[in-house]
Every structure is written in C-alpha cells, then in structure tokens.
Amino acid sequence: MMKRIKSISTRLAEADMVFWLMPLLIVLLIVGTVTQRWIGLYAAHHTYFSSFIIWLGPIPLPGGYTILGLLTLNLTAKFLFKSEWSAKKSGIILAHLGALILLIGGLVTSIMAEERYMVLPEGAQSPFIYHYTKRNLMVFQSNGEDDSQPTEIMRLPYSNIDNWNTDSLPFQFNLKFSCDNCNIIKREESSDYDENKTYAGMAQFMALENKPLEKEPEANLTGFEFTIFGADEGDGEHLAFDGMPKPIEIKSLGKTYTFIFGKDQSTLPFSIKLKDFVKDNYQGTAMARGYHSDVVIMDGDTHWETRIEMNKPLRYKGHTFFQSSFDQSEAGEVSIFSVVKNQGWLFPYIGTIVLALGLILHIIITFSRRRTQ
Amino acid sequence: MIRILLLMAIICCCVFTHAYAQNQAPEQFDYSAFEKIPVLDNGRVKPIGAFAKARLKDFYGKDYKATQWLAQTLFNPSEAIHAEVFTIKDDDLKSRLALDPSKDHFSIEDLQPGLKKTQSDIIVLLKETETNLTPQQQTLLKIHEDVISYNELLRSFSLILPLKDGETFINLLPKEQRITSDLKTIIAQKGQDVTTYTPAEQETAIMGFQLQQIRTGGIGNDDFKAIPVNLDEKLSWASPWQTINDGLGSPQANTLLSQWEDVANAHRKNDAQNWTAATHTLLENTLQNTSNEISKTRLNVELLYLNIKPYHVAMSLYALGIILLIITLSRPSIFITYGTLVSLFTACLFHVSGIAARIYILDRPPVGTLYESVLFVSLICAVIGLITYAKSRKPILALTSQIAALGLLSIAPTMLQNNDSLELLVAVLNTNFWLGTHVICITAGYGICIIGACLAHGYMLLRIKDPVHPLLDGAFQSIHKIGLVALLFTAVGTVLGGIWADQSWGRFWGWDPKENGALLIVLWLIWIQHGRLSGNIRPLGYVAGMAALNIVVALAWFGVNLLGVGLHSYGFTSGIAAGLAIFCIAETIIITALWIIIRIKQKQQGRTS
C-alpha cells in the first residue's frame, strides 16, 4: 500500500505534470479573460476560475479549481518526494516553495475571505457593513409602542426565496413573484393588474417585471412581490426591492412587523465615523489626483483618528478598509469603503519573497555553473 | 572600410543637423524667453512652447513652429483667422463643409460657413457614444471641438488687445458702465438705426457694441491659464479673462496683464527689440509670482526634451547600429565593431536622456502609461543588447535586441492617448512606490522576454543558413538564460502587482484581464521550461516557444487593454487591434515556417549522412 502511495506521489511530482496541466490552464485563462468582454468579470470568474468542472455541451472539462488543485498536489508531491535537497537545487526548491505558498494562500483566500462595503456620509458614524451581492429579507417585531426597540425575528436569504418559511408570523405571507433583476413599471401597466385587488404601500404605484441580468451582480435590482393576508393592518399586495426607500409595516395582534429587504448587513465590533472626505483634483481639471477619508475609529472607550486613502488601507481587528468609491451631491459627500476580512492576506507577501529569492538564487547558480563549465 | 566610415559620419551629421536645425530656424523674433513662460494646461504647469506644440498638433497634426503660431494666434487674432491650421483629408467631409477639394489644410475662416450648416447634426452626434460614430462623424465632431478651442485661444487676450485709437477693453473697463448707459439712452431716443446717429453717437454705439462683443467672447474663456494667483496661500492659475470675470484679479495679476500687453504690442508692431525685453520681463515676473514654486530648470528641460526629440535621434542611431551589425555578421572588422559600439552607445544615451528628462519633468518613475512602458521596454532591449555586445562582441544578440528596440520605439507614438506625451496619472496609479517596483519589474520582464524571443528568431534564421554555425550553441545558452531571467522578472512583477491590488482594491488576485495577461506570460515560460526539463519539448521546440513569447507578450501588454473591461480601466486603448492581429498572425506564420524549414533541413541532413 505504502509502495503504491509512494509510486503515485512520485508520478504526481514529475515535471511533465506541469507540462500537461499548463496548456489547460493557459487555455482556461485565455477563454476566461476574453469572455469577460461579453459576460462580465463575475460570471467569467465563477464559470471558469472558481469552478471544478466546465461543461462544454455534454463534455466535462477541468475548471480553475481542478487545475490549480492538481498543480498544488504536484508541487507538494515534488516538495516531499522528488526534490533533491542540495545547495545546487536550493534556488529551484525555494522558487517552488514560493509558488506553493501562493497557491495555498489562494485556497485560504477563496475559502475564507469575505468582501463587504461600508457607506458613510460625512459626519455619520456606523458599525454596519454590507455584502456586495447577498440580499436578505429582514423582519423586525416591536410591541407597537413608539419607544419600543424592534427585535429582528427573521432573516431570510434571497438566494433561498422559494423555500422561505414564514409560518411563525401571525398572518399569511404568500410570495407571488421574484426577479433577480427587476424593472420598475407603473402598477396599471403590469400584466396581472386587477383593480379589484388591494395594493398596499409602494405596490399601489409600481410593479416589478423581470429584465436580463447585469454583467456585475451588484448592479442588479433584485425584488419580489407578495401578498399579506390575515393581519389587522396592512393586508393586500406588496412589493419589495433592493434599497427600497421605505420599510413595509404590518400590524397584527398589537404588534408591528417591519419588513426590510436589502444587501446582507453585518456589524463590526467597532464603529467608524467619517470626519471628512476629500477628492483632490489636478489643478484646473476634474481629474482626481487622489482620494482620502479622515475617519475616527471608535472602539469602546478608545477613539482615534486616522486616514484611509488610495493605496493606503486601514487594517484593524482583522478587517481592512479601502477607499473604493465616493458620492458627491448637494446632500453632501459620501465615502464608500471596501471592507475585507481575509485570513490569508499574508500568504502573497511571504510567497513573493520566497519565490523571488528562489528564482534569483537559481539564476545565480545556473549562470555561475555555466561559466565554470 | 573608409567608405563605410564616411557613410556613418554623413548619417550622424544628418541626424544631428536635423535636430539642431529644428531649434535654430532663423526667426525675426527671439522666442527663447516667451516659450519658457509657464502656463497651466491639463492639470500640469508647462512652458508655453509645450502648450503650443500640443495645441498645434491637435489642430494641424504637426507641431512645426508652434510657438510662433501661438504668438500670432494670441496677439494678432485678425491675422490668425487666415492661418490654415485645420487638417481635413476626407473628401466627403470637404464637400459637406463646402471646402476646396484640392486642399488639405484650412483656416477657421474657411471652415465657419460649413460648420454652421452642420450644427444641427452635431447636437445629434454628441448624444451618440464614440464607438457608434463613423470615422467621418468623428472627424466632424473633432473639427467642431477644435474650432471652439481655437476660437477661445483667439480671444484669450481680447481684453488687452487694442480696439480703435489704441484703447483696450481693460482700460475701458471703468468707463464700460457709462458707455453702456449712454448707448441705452441713444437707442431709447433714436432707435436702432445707426444712420440717424450723430458722429459722436455713432462712436459711442461702435464702442458699446465692441465692448459687448469682447465681454461675451470672454465668458468661460479659461483655456489659457497663464496668470499665477495666490488663493488662500495656495498657488493657483487663471486665464486673463478669469482675473476679471471670476474675481481672481489682484495687483500682481494686473501687473502681469500689463506686461502681457507690452508683449502683445511688441509682437503686433513687429518690434523685435521690445519683444525680447518684454518677454524676458514677463517670464521673470511670472516666475516670481509663483513664489518660486515653479522651477525654471524644469521648464527648460521640458522644452529641450520637446525640441531635441531624443527618440528620433536614438532611432536613427539604432538603425545605423543595426546596419553595422548586419555587416559584422558577414565581414567582421574592428572598425565596424567600434563604429557599432559608438552608434549604439550614443543612441542609448539619447534614449536614456529622454526617459530621465520625463522622470525629472513629471517627478515620478519612468513608467506610468502605455506609451512610457513602450519607451522603457525599448530601452531595456537596447541596453542589454549593447552591454552583451560590448562584453562578448558576438553580434547576434545585439542585432536582435536593437531590432526590437527600434521596432518598439517606432510604434511608441501610436500608444499616445493625446498630443501631450507628458500625461498625468489617474489616482490609483499616483504612487511612486508601486510604479517604481511592480511596474518597473513587469515592464523589464516584457523587455527581457522580447530580447529572448528576438534572439530565438535570430537563432532559427542562423540555423537555417548554417546548421553548424559557431554562434548557435552560445545563442541557445543565452536563450535559456534569458528565459530564466524573464521568468524571474515577470513572475515577481506579477505577484507584486497582486500585492498592489491587495493594497488598493482589497484583493490579491481578481482574474482581471490585465492580471491574467501578466500571468499568461509567466505560465507560458513555466510551460516551456518544464517541457524542456521533462523532455516533452525538444531544444528546437523550446527555441520556437521562446520565439512565440513575442506573441504572448503582445497579447498581455496590449491585447487585454482592447477588451475594455476590468479594474485597469486607465490602460484601455483602441485603434491598435488591427496592428496587433497582423503582428500575431505574421509572427505565428514566421515561427511555424522557420520551424518547418529547420525540420526539413534536419531530415535531409539525416538522410545524407
């Protein structure tokens, strides 16, 4: 058995594994890059690079995960079973180790990294960050009095909309229709408009219809229509969509149920206040030389000021904040940060150093050997 | 031999005389101080000479005698409207604008009637995206934009140019209100018919009309920002009209305007002596008003860079070096070797000086735009070729490298996005650390790949000519070494790019086209190296693989920019797709043909032996 494992491992460690895998990766890279022009980065990423199998009609082809996984195996096997541990080969060994660290870093990142964003108007403070693509319906309950704090009683992910369980609500919630990317039209123009029905809230004026998906999923306007029945107040046809300006309120048995639909929200263990956002233009032009946000980190009783700017992110408690966008309007300036939590962020730094050292060493050894010869 | 050396000397003389002649063309006026006066244009303070060259190139396509043209435009607008500075070559467009079909260059006066007729079309065209426009529509739009821009230039100094009796708008400004109110009274009393006015009333009417015309022309006239103003202790720049219309005036600005008036008057009166004195005073005072924030040396270096055209000189010398290297291949000689070294060294000197001047002017590392990357990669090829030749005196690597350097330098201008090659960078690129590490590393990697690829071409050609040529073995070893160094630079450059992306966008790798392009080169190099190691690729296949690096680099460097998607939007280009496709197809055919010929020859030799 051990012999068999060793023979497989030795085979896996051969240089020709790279020779056979590399053309597949090259083709995948070219196809996955060129198709981005038509299907966008997100779709290409998921179809070609973050997949195990790509189906070309009925024919299965290896996806990015499969090829990179095999290359990782090959490098690990070479490292363990094949590498000749000598000074002569030290450069090669280090270079391969660097590549292995980069691949493992890629694996850790793809499994564990989480990317969200934070929107902060000038002067505002918030601990909330939002997912770029995941959307949820959140239901809050309050006892109907003005000063009562609403409690979140339900968080239903849009990705599972067909299986939403709303049985615990004291009224009926019937999903009618959903659209991953919706077009908003006038209520009277909708195909199922029935003047005998009761339309409530925004559904009185507007209706949703399906439209083709955008290239980048965060640009989709996701929404759904539903019916509420059996409540004390709020029965009728409703609709909800991404970033809806007003939550839906239903009253039943003396309690108020608030429905909010939008990007998945999570809470940081600290909050950030935006003091000032600055877009610094080149003189006499509208072209930006740089952007920065002066913020205050508020963690318990500790407060301190810092700056987040292009190419200079803020790292704190496992989260990294990047100046990713902004909005300037009459209402004021809004800074938008990308917030990334990635346990594997150090791998590329270490991998690069090891890889560079290895290649430099190998080149020195090769050049000096040939000179000696 | 003497004949060859004579030929070399003549070519060198031609090159230098050409560069010198461009700077020393005899002129009535001395423009040396005028062309150094700083102006703010496209976010950067530059000498007037540079401003003039960029604008004239926009309109005319060439920048010959640009400073003289600008002086004429600013100070003698009534004559400048006859200058034929707009280039239109499209016959259909000429007929649409009712222009003389036998001419390619037209004045603003020629264009105005035709452009008026196409105004309604322009409103429609402006709503279209650029990609949906035909080339003719694009030219029509550009002509309209150019004419607006030219009109603005013509009126830049209308406030200090003399009206009737030598009066200027700025001098009449205190009386403007009175003239306007007098004119209103005259119109109220006698109506609009000027013939009923007394001579004095006619005078007032003409003056009032002129003032109104000049003021209207000055609204929004902010293109020529030549007046430094200090706002909240921060240096800012204003156009002459902005000092009046936008309240940016000050005693210092007024002094400068009156000095501009002296310069204008000297030019209009053809007074060369006063012109020289006035331009020198204006230059010194403008610099003083910038609180010495603007370096005179930097302005001088920029002018020198634009006037000498170092890359043109370098290209001529590279071409000379290539000819000499070809001669060396068949008839080696110590004189030709020294001639080659001198020629290549001088070429590299001009090339390096050009790039060093850019670093000094822009105050950033040498590579920030696609154009700069081509200049830099070309230099890498030339320098490596020169060093190896100086050390080994083997011509093949030097020859292929210089051909690559010359080829790249000649395509560099096609990468320019506008007529000012000294471009500013978008915010994400505005970091000297990453431009100095990742960008330099990856572009050096491109250069080394190209050297390897060109040497591989040379190797294959030489092998066809003589399969046992003594240079072959050394060339193969060099290809292998270059392959390894190329892998080092491209791999490290690519991961450094990932780290930059991690710093600015929050992710190390996002499968963005530009990132994938860089990775493609690395994968290709890894593939051929491992193929050679495992025995799956034979030496000839390995050389062909190295030769094909040219295609891989071209796709990664320029091809991915054509996709127009991804986060590297600052690198998007257009208009090079056809050239790139031709290059890739031609290279594929050449490499395949060379490989087949060598294989056939090998088989024939096998049979013979």
Strand order in the sheet with A236-241: A172-179, A223-229, A236-241
The end-to-end CA distance of chain B, in Å, is 41
CA distance A144 to chain B (A): 43
Task: Tell me the average pLDDT across B420-435.
Answer: 81
Other Cβ atoms within 10 Å of A269 Cβ, number: 11
**Band of residue B184 on the pLDDT scale cut at 50, 70, 90:** confident
d(CA B562, CA B569): 10
| Residue-level pLDDT at B600 | 92
8 Å CB contact of A363 and B485: yes
Chain B residues with CB-CB distance to A33 below 8 A: 511, 513, 516-517, 560, 563
8 Å CB contact of B427 and A40: no
**How is residue B274 written in tokens?**
């006063």
| Residue-level pLDDT at A147 | 60
- CA nearest to A354 within chain B: B492
Are the beta carbons of B36 and B282 closer than 8 angstroms? no
- CA nearest to B474 within chain A: A370
**Band of residue A144 on the pLDDT scale cut at 50, 70, 90:** low
In this complex, is the C-beta atom of A29 within 8 Å of any C-beta atom belonging to chain B?
yes
- Digit-coded pLDDT (tens) for B73-118: 999 998 899 999 999 988 888 888 888 889 899 999 999 888 888 8
In this complex, is the C-beta atom of A8 within 8 Å of any C-beta atom belonging to chain B?
no
- The proportion of chain A whose per-residue pLDDT surpasses 90, expressed as a percent, equals 47
Contact residues for A224 (Cβ-Cβ < 8 A; gap 6+): A158, A161, A175, A176, A177, A178, A179, A208, A239, A240, A241, A261
- CA nearest to B478 within chain A: A367
- Digit-coded pLDDT (tens) for B204-219: 888 788 788 888 878 8
CA distance A74 to chain B (A): 13
Least Cα distance to A155 among A300, A252, A263, A309 occurs for A263
**Which of A311, A345, A346, A357 should we substitute to test contact with B (largest number of B Cβ atoms within 10 Å)?**
A311
- CA nearest to A321 within chain B: B506
Are the beta carbons of B571 and A45 closer than 8 angstroms? no
Contact residues for B63 (Cβ-Cβ < 8 A; gap 6+): B52, B53, B54, B56, B57, B419
**Band of residue B2 on the pLDDT scale cut at 50, 70, 90:** very low
| Residue-level pLDDT at A6 | 76
d(CA A274, CA A305): 10
| Residue-level pLDDT at B570 | 57
- Digit-coded pLDDT (tens) for A41-62: 888 888 999 899 998 888 889 9
Task: Tell me the average pLDDT across A102-108.
Answer: 90
In this complex, is the C-beta atom of A30 within 8 Å of any C-beta atom belonging to chain B?
yes
8 Å CB contact of B508 and A109: yes
- Digit-coded pLDDT (tens) for A60-91: 899 999 999 999 999 888 888 877 788 888 89
Chain A residues with CB-CB distance to B559 below 8 A: none
| Residue-level pLDDT at B607 | 73
In this complex, is the C-beta atom of A86 within 8 Å of any C-beta atom belonging to chain B?
no
Please check the confidence at residue B6 and state whether its pLDDT lies above 80.
no
In this complex, is the C-beta atom of A26 within 8 Å of any C-beta atom belonging to chain B?
yes
Please check the confidence at residue A10 and state whether its pLDDT lies above 80.
no
**Band of residue B5 on the pLDDT scale cut at 50, 70, 90:** very low
| Residue-level pLDDT at B416 | 85
**Band of residue B9 on the pLDDT scale cut at 50, 70, 90:** very low
8 Å CB contact of B506 and A363: no
Residue showing tokens 């005179």 = B296
Sign of CA dihedral B274, B275, B277, B278: positive
d(CA B167, CA B255): 17
Task: Tell me the average pLDDT across B301-315.
Answer: 94
Residue B239 Cα distances to A161, B157, B246, angstroms: 61, 9, 10
d(CA B89, CA A298): 65
The end-to-end CA distance of chain A, in Å, is 44
- The proportion of chain B whose per-residue pLDDT surpasses 90, expressed as a percent, equals 48
CA distance A138 to chain B (A): 28
d(CA A95, CA B528): 16
Q: How far is CA B390 from the centre of its chain?
A: 32
Mean pLDDT over the full length of chain A: 88
Sign of CA dihedral B461, B466, B468, B470: negative
- Of the partner residues A23, A340, A355, the one whose CB lies closest to the CB of residue B507: A340
d(CA B123, CA B143): 14
Please check the confidence at residue B18 and state whether its pLDDT lies above 80.
no
Mean pLDDT over the full length of chain B: 86
Instruction: With residue A328 as reference, give the H or E element that holds it.
Output: strand A319-329
**Band of residue A110 on the pLDDT scale cut at 50, 70, 90:** confident
Q: Which residue has the higher pLDDT, B79 or B24?
A: B79
Question: Count of alpha carbons within 13 Å of A187, Cβ hemisphere only?
Answer: 16
Please check the confidence at residue B27 and state whether its pLDDT lies above 70.
no
**Band of residue B26 on the pLDDT scale cut at 50, 70, 90:** very low
d(CA A120, CA A122): 6
d(CA B64, CA B46): 18
| Residue-level pLDDT at B23 | 41
* Least reliable range by pLDDT among A315-319, B23-27, B49-53, B459-463: B23-27
| Residue-level pLDDT at B565 | 67
Give the 3-state secondary structure of residue A176.
strand
Please check the confidence at residue A201 and state whether its pLDDT lies above 80.
yes
Protein fold of B1-23+294-417: Four Helix Bundle (Hemerythrin (Met), subunit A) (1.20.120)
* Least reliable range by pLDDT among A140-149, B315-324, B475-484: A140-149
Tell me the whole-structure pTM to 2 decimals: 0.83
8 Å CB contact of A322 and B524: no
d(CA B608, CA B538): 22
Are the beta carbons of B528 and B546 closer than 8 angstroms? yes
Residue showing tokens 């066809």 = B464
d(CA A278, CA A290): 8
CA distance A129 to chain B (A): 15
- Digit-coded pLDDT (tens) for A235-281: 999 999 987 888 899 999 888 999 999 999 899 999 999 999 999 88
CA R_g for chain B: 30
8 Å CB contact of A313 and B42: no
- Of the partner residues B485, B506, B534, the one whose CB lies closest to the CB of residue A15: B534
Q: Which residue has the higher pLDDT, B400 or B213?
A: B400
Per the DSSP assignment, residues forming a β-bridge with B482 are: none
* Least reliable range by pLDDT among A5-14, A297-306, B14-23, B60-69: B14-23
d(CA B557, CA B411): 13
Are the beta carbons of A335 and A120 closer than 8 angstroms? yes
Per the DSSP assignment, residues forming a β-bridge with B85 are: none
| Residue-level pLDDT at A127 | 94
Task: Tell me the average pLDDT across A136-158.
Answer: 83
8 Å CB contact of A19 and B530: yes
Question: Count of alpha carbons within 13 Å of A349, Cβ hemisphere only?
Answer: 8
Least Cα distance to A268 among A244, A293, A247, A295 occurs for A295
8 Å CB contact of B488 and A370: no
Neighbour-count burial for B371-392, b at 16+ CB within 10 Å, e otherwise: bbbbbbbbbbbbbbbbebbeee
8 Å CB contact of B43 and A281: yes
- Digit-coded pLDDT (tens) for A309-330: 888 889 999 899 998 888 888 7
- Of the partner residues A287, A339, A359, the one whose CB lies closest to the CB of residue B43: A287
Q: Which residue has the higher pLDDT, B231 or B351?
A: B351
d(CA B555, CA A167): 57
**Band of residue B568 on the pLDDT scale cut at 50, 70, 90:** low
- Digit-coded pLDDT (tens) for B500-553: 888 877 778 888 888 899 999 999 999 999 999 888 999 999 999 999 999 999
Chain A residues with CB-CB distance to B504 below 8 A: 310-311, 313, 322
- Of the partner residues A281, A352, A370, the one whose CB lies closest to the CB of residue B477: A370
- The ipTM assigned to this model is 0.81
| Residue-level pLDDT at A87 | 82
Chain B residues with CB-CB distance to A345 below 8 A: 502, 508
Any idea where the domains of chain B sit in the sequence? Answer: 1-23+294-417, 46-154, 451-566+581-609
Chain A residues with CB-CB distance to B426 below 8 A: 287-288
Other Cβ atoms within 10 Å of B433 Cβ, number: 11
Least Cα distance to A56 among A96, A23, A27 occurs for A27
Chain B residues with CB-CB distance to A366 below 8 A: 481, 484
Chain B residues with CB-CB distance to A311 below 8 A: 428, 431, 434, 500, 503-504
**How is residue B542 written in tokens?**
């390995």
- CA nearest to A286 within chain B: B43
Question: B-contacting residues of A 331-360, CB under 8 Å?
Answer: 338-340, 342, 345, 348-349, 351-352, 355-356, 359-360
CB pairs under 8 A between A and B: 165
**Band of residue B13 on the pLDDT scale cut at 50, 70, 90:** very low
Question: B-contacting residues of A 44-63, CB under 8 Å?
Answer: 44-45, 49
